[in-house]
Structure 1
C-alpha cells in the first residue's frame, strides 16, 4: 500500500473548461452550463464522455449533484463523490480523485461545478434550511461577509493592517482581470475607489467583496501514464492537503490564522517543495482579507506581514508574486463557489495558455480553496512535466 507522499504526480489534470460565465439569463439552468463545461473539458483532454468512469460534483442548485450531472451527460460512472465543503470542495476533489484512481476504483475522473446564482432569484439561492441551531443568528450578522469582516478587523487590531492594504489586493485583482478577455469586471479600479466604496460590513466595502456571477467549470483527471498519450501537456497533481478548524466563525480559535496554516505545510511536504518554489498562486478571494490571510498562512510571508507583502503592487502584474492571475473572485468570476476556477486558471498558466496574463517560466502552481467562513481549507500543488 502506497503512502500519500508516494502518490505525488501519479495523476494529472488533462482537461479544463468553463461555460456560462457572467450572466446567462433566467432560462439557462446551472445543470446546463455544468454540462457544457464538462463536455468541453472532456474534449479538451482529447477524450470521449464514455471514457469518464468517476464523477465529482457539488452544487447548491441541483440535488444529488454527481448523479444528476451523470444522468444529464449520459454517463454511467462506477464512482461518484459529492463531498461538500463549500468553495474548497473542488480542490478536495483533486485529492479524492487521485485516491480513487490509485485504488483502482476509477481511471478517468470528471470534476465539475455549475451555478446560475446571478440569474436565479436576483442572485439569492440556498441549498436548504439550516437545520443546525445557530448561536450567531441572534446577533444579526450579515453572513458570510460579517464573519470575514471580523477577521479583517482583528488583523488590523493585532498587526496594524490598514484598509489600504486590503485595497491593494482588490486593485491587483482588477489589474490581472484587465488582461483576461472574459473577466466579468475589467474597468479601472484605484485604491481610492476601494476606500470610498459603499461599506458592506466594516471594515470591508463592496470593492472588498467578490462578484456575484453565473458560471461553470470542469476539470478532467487521469493517471499521468495515460495523460502522456493525450493531446494536452500534462499537469501533474503533486499534492493536496485538507484541514478544517471550525464551521461557525464564532468558534474559531484564532481570527487571524486559518487552517491553511495546516493544509499548506502538509501540501508542501507531500510535494517536496517550499513556497519559494511556487511560480504562480491561485487563492480563494471571496473577500480581500482571504488573500492576505492565505499568503501569510501558506508561508509566502510571515504572520502580520501580509499588508507590506501586497503593498505597491506586490501581487499585481509585474509584482513580486503573481497571485490570482485571472482576476480572481474579486474581478474575474464568482458564481457562489469559486474553487473549480482556481484549478482551471492554474492549469492554463502551467500549460502556457494564459495569453496576455501568462506568467513567464511557470512550472509550479499553488491552488488554495476556502469553504464556509474560513471553515474548510484545501491546498494543492500542481506542476508541469519538469516537476516529475
Structure 2
C-alpha cells in the first residue's frame, strides 16, 4: 500500500566538502562548506532554510550547535542520532515535516574531521556494560562476529567478502572525489593485514574527513528550482537492539523490516531498483543488506555478489561512488548514500553514471547493526 508521503517531497540540492583530508578545518567548518554547496546547487539561500536535520560525532547537541554556527532560525529541528543511519532516516522525517507544513526547506547535513584530527570525536558513547568485560574492539568486534557467523552458517567465504571491496574500488576508480582509487584485487584484500578475524584491513571502511548536505522541499516547489527533482518515494526505519550481543540473530538485521516498510510506501519491489547505495562500513554489511532487503535469499549473499554482479558492468550497481570502503567514511556515512543517489537519478554522475536510472535505494546502518533506515527515491518517471 502506497503512502500519502509518496512523491510529496524531493531532494533539490546536494553538496560535499573536505573529502579525504581537510587539515585546518573542524567538523562545523566543512559541514558549512557542504551546506553552502548544496544550497547553491538548489538555487536557494541560507535564509530559506527553516528545517534542520543533523547528527554528528563531535557535539553533544549537534542540531543546536549547527544552528548557531550557520546562523539559522529554523521552525523545526531534529537532532536524532541513530549513528550512520541518521541521515537516511532524516529523509523520511524531513518529508513528514514538509508535508505537515512544519517547514518549507529542509536541510540534512553532517561533517567530521576524523582523519586530520581538527575536531576529534567526543568521548566514545556509552557501551553496553555487559559487553565491556569481554574487551571488545568497537565497532570491529560486532561486524567480525556477524561475518564469522554468516560464514559458519551459510558457507560464505573470505573471497566472497573480498568481492564487495573489489567492486567498491572499481566504482571509486571512476569517481574523482574518491579517497582510494588504486587498483584492488581479491588477493589484495585477502593478503591485507588481519584486523579482526575474519575481517582484514580491506574489509573495513576508510577513516577520512568529509561533509555532506542535502536540501529537500515539497514537490510543487521543487519543480520550479534549477535542478531535476529527485522524489522521495518511500522510507522505513527499524531497530531491534543497541548491543550486538542482543541481536536476535547475528545474520539478520532490522533492514528486513525497514526495507519492507520503504518498499510498501513506495509501491515498489527490489526488482524495480536501478541502483543501490548501501552503508558499507564493512564488507559483510553489503551481503547482509542485500539479503535482508530482498535482493537475494538469506544465506546467498556471498554467491550473489560473486563474479562482479555489483561491480561496474554488473546487473546490480551497488555503491557507485565507491562507498565507505573506497570513497570516504568520516565516522558516519549515511548522508553520502543520499548524495550519490541524487547524482545518479539526475544523470550527473559522470563516468560511473548508470544509464536511464529512474529509481534508487539508499540504506543506512547505525552503531553496531543497531539501527536500520531505508529510503527509496525516483525521477519524475517513477512517480
Match of 2:264?
Answer: 269
Conserved? CA contact 1:265–1:298, under 8 Å: yes
CA distance in 2, matches of 1:281, 1:131: 32
Question: In the alignment, does 2:91 pair up with 1:94?
Answer: yes
2:121 & 2:31 partners in 1: Cα distance?
18
C-alpha offsets along residues 307-355 of structure 1, whole Å, 9 cap, x if unaligned? 1111011100001200000000000000000000000000000000000
- Assess, with a 3 A threshold, how the Cα gap between structure 1 residues 129 and 367 changes in structure 2: closer, same or farther: closer
Q: What RMSD, in angstroms, separates the aligned Cα atoms of the two structures?
A: 1.3
Partner of 2:298: 303
Structure 1 length-normalised TM? 0.97
Identify the residue that residue 201 of structure 1 maps to in structure 2. Answer: 196
Does residue 78 of structure 2 align to residue 81 of structure 1?
A: yes
Alignment pair present for 1:222 and 2:217: yes
TM-score normalized with structure 2 length: 0.98
How many Å apart are 1:130 and its aligned residue?
4.3
CA gap 1:20/1:53 in 2 versus in 1, 3 angstroms: same
Please give the secondary structure, in 1, of the residue aligned with 2:232.
strand
Distance 1:132 1:117 in 2: 20
Deviation of the 1:4 alpha carbon: 7.7
Deviation at 1:132, TM superposition (A): 5.9
Q: How does 1:38-77 map to 2 (within 5 A)?
A: 38-77=35-74
Task: Show structure 1 runs of 5+ residues with no match.
Answer: none
Task: Tell me whether 1:317 sits opposite 2:312 in the alignment.
Answer: yes
Contact 2:2 2:266 in 1 (8 A): no
Q: Is contact 1:31-1:62 (8 Å) kept? A: no
Other structure's SS at 1:7 match? coil
Q: 1:131 to 1:79 in 2, by over 3 A?
A: same
Partner of 2:357: 362
Q: Which runs of 4+ in 1 moved over 6 A?
A: none
Q: Are residues 1:10 and 2:5 paired?
A: no
**Residue number among 351, 376, 382 corresponding to 2:377 in the alignment:** 382
Aligned counterpart in structure 1 of residue 145 of structure 2, from 138, 145, 150: 150
Aligned partners of 2:276 and 2:360 also within 8 Å: yes
| Deviation digits for residues 141-195 of structure 1 (CA, Å, limit 9, x no counterpart) | 1110110000000000111000000000000000000000110000010000101
Question: What residue ranges of structure 2 are gaps of 5+ in the alignment?
Answer: none
CA-to-aligned-CA distance 1:61-83 (integer Å, 9 cap, x gap): 13421222222222111111101
Structure 1 residues 132, 176: CA separation in 2 closer, same or farther (over 3 Å shift)? closer
Distance 2:187 2:66 in 1: 44
After superposition, residues 328-347 of structure 1 pair within 5 angstroms as 328-347=323-342
Question: SS of 1:6's equivalent?
Answer: coil
Tell me, in whole angstroms, the C-alpha distance in 2 between the residues paired with 1:59 and 1:169.
27
Partner deviation per Cα, 1:53-100 (whole Å, 9 max, x = no partner)? 011110111342122222222211111110100000001111111111
Moved more, 245-254 or 131-140: 131-140
The CA deviation at 1:126 is: 3.7
TM-aligned CA distance change 1:202 to 1:326, over 3 Å = same
Contact 1:243 1:378 in 2 (8 A): yes
Secondary structure of the corresponding residue to residue 234 of structure 2: strand
- With over 3 angstroms needed to count, the CA separation of the structure-2 counterparts of 1:371 and 1:130, relative to structure 1, is closer
Does residue 231 of structure 2 align to residue 210 of structure 1?
A: no
Distance in 2 separating the partners of 1:127 and 1:89: 17
Mean Cα displacement is larger for which, 86-95 or 57-66?
Answer: 57-66
CA distance in 1, matches of 2:128, 2:170: 42
Aligned residues: 383
